[in-house]
Amino acid sequence: MIRGTIIVATEICKACELCITACPQDCLELSSQLNSKGYRYAQLKNDLCTGCINCAIVCPDSAITVYRQPKANK
Ligand code: SF4
Ligand code: SF4
């Protein structure tokens, strides 16, 4: 199993929620905080991310960077 995580460029995010809809693990939500443009930005809400990159692919503003690492099992 691959584990992943994401970093959202919060100042680029426009709260379109496409990434939230696209995530098969239901990992994403909009923050309660606003960025400087007044948008609630996307953020991880749990540790179930698999690094599938769906969110990064659908983001129209390329605001998401995905990181993947093999699950340590040795
Ligand atoms: S990389 Fe995949 S599992 Fe992780 S937050 Fe994005 S869509 Fe969800
Ligand atoms: S798809 Fe991109 S712009 Fe839209 S909410 Fe997600 S991170 Fe923000």
DSSP letters along 22-49, please? Answer: H-TT--EEEEEEE-TTSPEEEEE-SS--
Average pLDDT along the chain, 74 residues, taken 10 residues at a time: 92 98 98 98 97 98 94 60
Write down the pLDDT at residue 53. 97
Write down the pLDDT at residue 3. 93
Q: Is the CB of 66 under 6 A from ligand 2?
A: no
What's the CATH fold of domain 2-66? Answer: Alpha-Beta Plaits (3.30.70)
Write down the pLDDT at residue 73. 58
Write down the pLDDT at residue 11. 98
* Domain boundaries of the chain, sorted by first residue: 2-66
Question: Which letter does DSSP use for residue 51 in this model?
Answer: -
Give the span between the Cα atoms of 17 and 21, in whole angstroms.
6
Write down the pLDDT at residue 70. 78
Residues with CB under 6 A from ligand 1: 4, 6, 22-23, 25, 27-28, 49-55, 66
Write down the pLDDT at residue 31. 98
Q: Length of the chain in residues, anyone?
A: 74
Give the span between the Cα atoms of 62 and 40, in whole angstroms.
16
**How far away, in angstroms, is 19 Cα from ligand 1 center?**
8
